[in-house]
Amino acid sequence: MQYPENLNAWHDQVREDIIDPEREITDPHHHFWAERLGSTYELDELWSDTQSGHRVTRTVFIECRSGYDLDAPKPFAPVGETRYVAAIAAEAAKQPGKAQIAGIVAHADLHLDPDTLNAVLDAHEEASNLFRGIRHAGAWDEEREKFMFKGQPIPHLYLKPDFQRGVQLLGARGLTYDTWHFHPQNGEFLQLAKSCPDTTIILNHFGGPIGTHRFAGKREDRFAEWQDEMAAIAECPNVVAKLGGLAMPFNGFGWDGRDKPPSSDELVAAQAQYYHHMIDVFGPDRAMFESNFPVDKLSVGYVTYWNAMKKIAARYPEAAQQAMFSGTANRIYRL
C-alpha cells in the first residue's frame, strides 16, 4: 500500500473552524521520513500541518528507521536517525515562530549487552541534546505480514530477560522507554511494566486495538476486555499513556478507504469511549494527546484530529486539559 498522491486534496474536502485556537499544544508523537510508501514527510510537511490553525508550539520526533547510518556498526546505525532529526530541528530553530522539534525518541536494540547498549546511548546523547529516550517497539502479531505497518519480527519480546534488562537500563540513565504493540500483547506488556518499575514507560496508541483481519468486526465486542487490560496497566505508576494513533488502517475504522475523510464529530462518535476510559484510569497527569502523523494522516486530517481532541477534552477541568495538551508531554520528555 502506498500513500495516495492526492492525500492533501482528500483532506481538503473537510473544512472546520479551529476550536480553542489559543490552546497551546505539544504534539509528542510524529515521524519524519525522506521517502516511504511513496511519500515524504519532513519539516515543510510537518509545518504545513502544525501551522494549519491549531497552536502547536513543540513536537517530539519518534523513531521510524529514517536516516540510519548504514556504514556504522549495526548497533550504532540508529544514531544516524538522531543526527538526521537534529539537523531538521536546527533548521526549524531558524524560524522560532513555528513549531519546534523539542525532543527526539530514538531507537536502540535493547537486547544488547549493557556495555554496548550504554555505548549506543552515549552516541545518541552526543548526536543531539534533544535525545530523550528510546522506542524499541514490541508490536508483533501472527498476521503482521498482512498489515501496512507490520511491527517487528520477534514474538514475546517483552518477556525476554535481556530485553527487560535493557528497559531497566534506560531508567537507570534517566531515559524514557516508548513502545507500541497490538492488543493481544497487552498482558505481556503489563509484565514488562511490572519488571521495570524505575523506568518511565510510554504506551503508544491505546495498546493497539486491531479491527481488521481475524479481528474484523470484533473490536467493539472486546471493548470491555480492552478496558480491563488498560485499567490493569494503569495500576503501574511508571506507565504513561499516549492518546492517539487509533486511526491506523489496522484499527479497522475504515476511514482510509473512503471517498471523504471523517469530520471531528465523526471521530469523536467513533472513538471517544477509548479516550475517556484512558483518561479515567491513567488520569490527565499520565495522559497526552498525540497526532501520530503522518501515519494517521491516512485516515484523519491534522485540524480534524485536534478539533476532536478539544471536543473530547471539554468535559474536563482546565488544569486537566492543559496537562493532556502539553503539560504531561513537557514533563515526561523534559521539554
Cross-strand bridge partners of residue 103: 60
In whole angstroms, what separates CA 197 from the centre of its chain? Answer: 21
Q: What is the per-residue pLDDT for 159?
A: 98
Of 109, 182, 202, give the one whose Cα is nearest residue 141: 182
Q: What are phi and psi of 191, to 5 degrees?
A: -65, -40
Read off the pTM: 0.97
Q: What are phi and psi of 134, to 5 degrees?
A: -125, 140
Listed by start position, the domains of the chain span: 18-332
Q: What is the per-residue pLDDT for 1?
A: 60
Q: What is the per-residue pLDDT for 219?
A: 83
- Tens of pLDDT, residue by residue over 121-169, are 999 999 999 999 999 999 999 988 888 888 899 999 999 999 999 999 9
CATH number of 18-332, picked from 3.20.20.140, 3.40.50.740, 1.20.120.1200, 3.40.109.10? 3.20.20.140
Looking at this protein, which amino acid is placed at residue 109?
A: D
Contact 55, 26 (CB under 8 A): no
Residues of the chain with pLDDT under 70: 1
Q: What is the per-residue pLDDT for 223?
A: 96
Q: What are phi and psi of 97, to 5 degrees?
A: -75, -10
Of 49, 44, 1, 16, give the one whose Cα is nearest residue 291: 49
- CA distances 91 to 31, 35, 42, 66, 283, Å, are 16, 19, 11, 17, 36
